[in-house]
Amino acid sequence: MVSALPLTLAGATLRRRGKVLVGPVDLKLGERGVTVVIGPNGSGKTSLLRMMHGLQRVAAGSVTWSLPDTEARRRQAYVFQQPIALRRSVLANLVFPLRLHGMPRAQATAMARTAASRFDLTAKLEQSAPSLSGGEMQRLALARALIATPEILFADEPCAALDGSATRQIESHLVEAAASGTRLVMATHDMGQARRIADDVIFLLHGRIHETGPATAFFDGPDTAEARAFLRGDIVD
Ligand SMILES: Nc1ncnc2c1ncn2[C@@H]1O[C@H](COP(=O)(O)OP(=O)(O)OP(=O)(O)O)[C@@H](O)[C@H]1O
């Protein structure tokens, strides 16, 4: 299968009411691996992910996939910080994206049940999705995002509101998806999590990439004073 990756950002800039939220950003995302986006509050992590996913149109520069946009869009999934679900059963939420991809109902239902089992949601299949706990809801959001095997998954702080054991579950699903070939781009505030799962890091400051590189080198000895301060836990603004 021809890949939608690499994804290339060239001078990509996002503006709101005349103010630059992100950019200009130059970046190339290859076909494999886990890229973790870090940076202080308001540095533009969410905006960068949304811009890459095409949820927000660039004001300048370009965001280019290796396939036409309509095809590239079908190969992507996005998990929001606040998980969203249809006001329907867990099963219906899992079936929905498969039906969007044109899969027959019986096959989609069988696949949804398999995904529910992998994500420990079998007992919840008939439950209304909005009544799930935070951890269950994020597991559902991730199961739904991964069910059609996206080539790339954008995840915006997927563990932000979760406790340790729920975080561990989500992380293991993310790592498993990446090992199976899904390209992962994730924003997080949790430096322990970033160290655990990142192959490479993008450190944002004021909407710009301040430093980027392989995770081990970044965490062992960042090049910039701002990244060193950020990793020490100092306030960087
Ligand atoms: N729709 C919008 N209109 C105006 N400003 C916005 C909009 N969305 C985001 N911003 C601003 O853009 C900047 C970047 O926000 P963004 O949410 O991308 O940062 P972040 O690094 O994800 O922050 P946090 O860590 O707090 O989640 C912030 O100053 C924010 O106030």
Q: In what order do the strands lie in the sheet with 19-29?
A: 19-29, 7-16, 60-64
Centre of ligand 1 to C-alpha 208, Å, is 13
Claim to verify: residue 75 and residue 47 sit in the same structural domain: yes
Residue 12 lies in a domain: yes
Residues of the chain with pLDDT > 70, as a percent, come to 100
pLDDT, position 82? 86
pLDDT at 206 over 90: yes
Q: Is 50 in the pocket of ligand 1 (CB under 6 A)?
A: no
Atom number in ligand 1 closest to CA 22: 14
Q: Does residue 1 form part of some domain?
A: no
* Mean pLDDT, rounded, for 161-186: 93
ipTM above 0.90, yes or no: yes
- Count of domains in the chain? 2
Query: What is the pLDDT averaged over residues 191-199?
Result: 96
C-beta 43 within 6 A of ligand 1:
yes
CA distance 199 to 48: 18
For residues 92-103, average pLDDT: 93
Instruction: Determine whether the shortest distance from the Cβ of 150 to ligand 1 is under 6 A.
Output: no
Percent of the chain with pLDDT over 90: 87
∠103-184-152 over CA atoms, to 5°?
35
Which of 236, 4, 43, 20 lies closest to 12 in space, CA to CA?
20
- Residue 98 sits in which domain range? 86-131
For the segment 128-156, the average pLDDT, to the nearest whole number, is: 94
Ligand 1: which atom is nearest the Cα of residue 207? 14
Q: How does pLDDT run across 208-217, given as a tens digit for each residue?
A: 999 999 999 9
